[in-house]
Amino acid sequence: MNIQDFVEQGEGRQEDKMTAWELFQKAYKFQMDGKLDEAVKLYQSSIDTFPTAEAHTFLGWTYSFMGQLHEAIEECHLAIKTDPDFGNPYNDIGAYLIELDQLDDAIPWLEKATKAKRYESPAFPNMNLGRIYEKKGDWDRAIDFYKIAVTLNPKYQSAKSAMMRLITMMN
Protein backbone atom coordinates (compact mmCIF):
# COMPACT_ATOMS: atom_id res chain seq x y z
CA MET A 1 0.00 0.00 0.00
CA ASN A 2 1.15 3.51 -0.65
CA ILE A 3 0.26 6.88 0.80
CA GLN A 4 -1.93 7.80 -2.19
CA ASP A 5 -4.20 4.77 -1.67
CA PHE A 6 -4.33 5.50 2.04
CA VAL A 7 -5.30 9.17 1.80
CA GLU A 8 -7.87 8.62 -0.96
CA GLN A 9 -10.02 6.50 1.34
CA GLY A 10 -13.27 7.82 2.73
CA GLU A 11 -14.28 11.24 3.93
CA GLY A 12 -11.97 13.10 6.23
CA ARG A 13 -9.42 15.82 6.59
CA GLN A 14 -6.19 15.35 4.64
CA GLU A 15 -4.28 16.32 7.76
CA ASP A 16 -5.88 13.45 9.75
CA LYS A 17 -5.23 11.02 6.93
CA MET A 18 -1.56 12.02 6.77
CA THR A 19 -1.17 11.64 10.53
CA ALA A 20 -2.91 8.25 10.41
CA TRP A 21 -0.58 7.19 7.58
CA GLU A 22 2.51 8.17 9.58
CA LEU A 23 1.24 6.26 12.62
CA PHE A 24 0.47 3.25 10.42
CA GLN A 25 4.00 3.29 8.97
CA LYS A 26 5.58 3.48 12.44
CA ALA A 27 3.31 0.67 13.67
CA TYR A 28 4.31 -1.52 10.74
CA LYS A 29 8.01 -0.97 11.46
CA PHE A 30 7.51 -1.90 15.12
CA GLN A 31 5.53 -4.97 14.05
CA MET A 32 8.28 -6.12 11.69
CA ASP A 33 10.87 -5.51 14.44
CA GLY A 34 8.88 -7.74 16.80
CA LYS A 35 7.84 -4.86 19.07
CA LEU A 36 4.23 -5.95 19.06
CA ASP A 37 2.86 -4.02 22.04
CA GLU A 38 4.19 -0.79 20.57
CA ALA A 39 2.77 -1.71 17.15
CA VAL A 40 -0.68 -2.33 18.68
CA LYS A 41 -0.70 1.10 20.31
CA LEU A 42 0.32 2.84 17.10
CA TYR A 43 -2.18 0.96 14.93
CA GLN A 44 -4.89 1.89 17.42
CA SER A 45 -3.77 5.53 17.30
CA SER A 46 -3.88 5.42 13.50
CA ILE A 47 -7.43 4.03 13.64
CA ASP A 48 -8.48 6.64 16.19
CA THR A 49 -7.12 9.39 13.91
CA PHE A 50 -8.59 8.03 10.67
CA PRO A 51 -9.91 4.45 10.49
CA THR A 52 -8.86 2.39 7.47
CA ALA A 53 -9.33 -1.23 6.52
CA GLU A 54 -5.55 -1.56 6.30
CA ALA A 55 -4.94 -0.38 9.85
CA HIS A 56 -7.60 -2.74 11.23
CA THR A 57 -6.21 -5.64 9.18
CA PHE A 58 -2.62 -5.02 10.22
CA LEU A 59 -3.67 -4.60 13.85
CA GLY A 60 -5.35 -7.99 13.51
CA TRP A 61 -2.18 -9.43 11.99
CA THR A 62 -0.22 -8.11 14.98
CA TYR A 63 -2.71 -9.71 17.36
CA SER A 64 -2.23 -12.99 15.49
CA PHE A 65 1.53 -12.76 16.11
CA MET A 66 0.65 -12.43 19.78
CA GLY A 67 -1.52 -15.55 19.65
CA GLN A 68 -4.72 -13.53 20.07
CA LEU A 69 -6.63 -15.00 17.13
CA HIS A 70 -10.11 -14.00 18.29
CA GLU A 71 -9.01 -10.36 18.59
CA ALA A 72 -7.37 -10.67 15.16
CA ILE A 73 -10.63 -11.92 13.67
CA GLU A 74 -12.55 -9.06 15.28
CA GLU A 75 -10.18 -6.50 13.72
CA CYS A 76 -10.70 -8.14 10.33
CA HIS A 77 -14.47 -7.78 10.75
CA LEU A 78 -13.93 -4.09 11.48
CA ALA A 79 -11.73 -3.82 8.39
CA ILE A 80 -14.45 -5.37 6.23
CA LYS A 81 -17.00 -2.98 7.71
CA THR A 82 -14.66 -0.08 6.84
CA ASP A 83 -13.99 -1.29 3.27
CA PRO A 84 -15.80 -4.41 2.02
CA ASP A 85 -13.74 -4.38 -1.21
CA PHE A 86 -10.40 -4.91 0.59
CA GLY A 87 -9.44 -8.58 0.22
CA ASN A 88 -6.82 -9.04 2.92
CA PRO A 89 -9.15 -9.30 5.93
CA TYR A 90 -11.26 -12.01 4.27
CA ASN A 91 -8.14 -14.10 3.68
CA ASP A 92 -6.84 -13.37 7.15
CA ILE A 93 -10.08 -14.50 8.82
CA GLY A 94 -9.83 -17.71 6.81
CA ALA A 95 -6.20 -18.21 7.82
CA TYR A 96 -6.98 -17.59 11.51
CA LEU A 97 -9.88 -20.06 11.37
CA ILE A 98 -7.51 -22.63 9.85
CA GLU A 99 -5.21 -22.04 12.84
CA LEU A 100 -8.22 -22.62 15.11
CA ASP A 101 -8.93 -25.86 13.15
CA GLN A 102 -12.29 -24.50 11.98
CA LEU A 103 -11.74 -25.54 8.38
CA ASP A 104 -15.35 -25.49 7.16
CA ASP A 105 -15.89 -22.03 8.68
CA ALA A 106 -12.76 -20.75 6.89
CA ILE A 107 -13.87 -21.73 3.38
CA PRO A 108 -16.48 -18.99 2.74
CA TRP A 109 -14.09 -16.29 3.95
CA LEU A 110 -11.36 -17.49 1.63
CA GLU A 111 -13.80 -17.73 -1.27
CA LYS A 112 -14.79 -14.09 -0.63
CA ALA A 113 -11.11 -13.14 -0.65
CA THR A 114 -10.68 -14.70 -4.10
CA LYS A 115 -13.42 -12.39 -5.40
CA ALA A 116 -12.37 -9.18 -3.64
CA LYS A 117 -12.15 -6.10 -5.85
CA ARG A 118 -9.11 -4.68 -4.07
CA TYR A 119 -6.54 -7.35 -3.29
CA GLU A 120 -2.89 -7.41 -4.29
CA SER A 121 -2.25 -11.05 -3.31
CA PRO A 122 -5.09 -13.22 -4.66
CA ALA A 123 -2.80 -16.26 -4.65
CA PHE A 124 -2.95 -16.39 -0.82
CA PRO A 125 -6.60 -17.41 -0.38
CA ASN A 126 -6.18 -20.04 -3.09
CA MET A 127 -3.17 -21.44 -1.26
CA ASN A 128 -5.18 -21.46 1.96
CA LEU A 129 -8.08 -23.23 0.26
CA GLY A 130 -5.56 -25.78 -0.98
CA ARG A 131 -4.32 -26.26 2.58
CA ILE A 132 -7.88 -26.86 3.79
CA TYR A 133 -8.72 -29.43 1.13
CA GLU A 134 -5.40 -31.17 1.68
CA LYS A 135 -6.18 -31.45 5.42
CA LYS A 136 -9.64 -32.75 4.55
CA GLY A 137 -8.09 -35.43 2.31
CA ASP A 138 -9.48 -34.02 -0.95
CA TRP A 139 -6.13 -33.94 -2.71
CA ASP A 140 -7.47 -33.38 -6.22
CA ARG A 141 -9.26 -30.24 -5.09
CA ALA A 142 -6.22 -29.15 -3.08
CA ILE A 143 -4.01 -29.49 -6.16
CA ASP A 144 -6.50 -27.43 -8.18
CA PHE A 145 -6.25 -24.57 -5.67
CA TYR A 146 -2.46 -24.83 -5.48
CA LYS A 147 -2.37 -24.60 -9.30
CA ILE A 148 -4.52 -21.47 -9.23
CA ALA A 149 -2.18 -19.94 -6.63
CA VAL A 150 0.86 -20.69 -8.80
CA THR A 151 -0.90 -19.34 -11.90
CA LEU A 152 -1.68 -16.10 -10.08
CA ASN A 153 1.85 -15.85 -8.68
CA PRO A 154 4.42 -18.02 -10.51
CA LYS A 155 7.03 -17.17 -7.84
CA TYR A 156 4.90 -18.52 -4.98
CA GLN A 157 7.27 -21.28 -3.88
CA SER A 158 5.09 -22.61 -1.04
CA ALA A 159 2.21 -23.23 -3.44
CA LYS A 160 4.54 -24.89 -5.98
CA SER A 161 6.02 -27.12 -3.29
CA ALA A 162 2.63 -28.10 -1.88
CA MET A 163 1.29 -28.90 -5.34
CA MET A 164 4.35 -30.97 -6.31
CA ARG A 165 4.36 -32.80 -2.96
CA LEU A 166 0.73 -33.89 -3.42
CA ILE A 167 1.21 -34.83 -7.07
CA THR A 168 4.22 -36.93 -6.10
CA MET A 169 2.33 -38.63 -3.28
CA MET A 170 -0.56 -39.49 -5.63
CA ASN A 171 1.74 -41.27 -8.14
pLDDT level of residue 22 (50, 70, 90 thresholds): very high
Residue range 3-121, CATH number: 1.25.40.10
Alpha carbons 57 and 48: distance in angstroms, whole number: 14
Strand extents, DSSP E, 48-88:
none
> C-alpha angle 167/169/171, rounded to 5°?
75
How far is the C-alpha of 14 from the C-alpha of 1, rounded, in Å?
Answer: 17
User: Is the pLDDT reported for residue 2 higher than 90?
Assistant: no
Domain coordinates of the chain in residue numbers? 3-121
d(CA 16, CA 50): 6
Mean pLDDT of the chain: 94
Distance CA 130, CA 140 (A): 9
CA–CA distance, 115 with 6 (Å, rounded to integer) = 21
Please state whether the predicted TM-score (pTM) of the whole model is above 0.95.
Answer: no
Q: Collapse the DSSP code of 73 into the 3-class scheme (helix H, G, I; strand E, B; otherwise coil) and give the result.
A: helix
Output the pLDDT for position 5.
59
Least confident of 7-21, 84-98, 156-170: 7-21
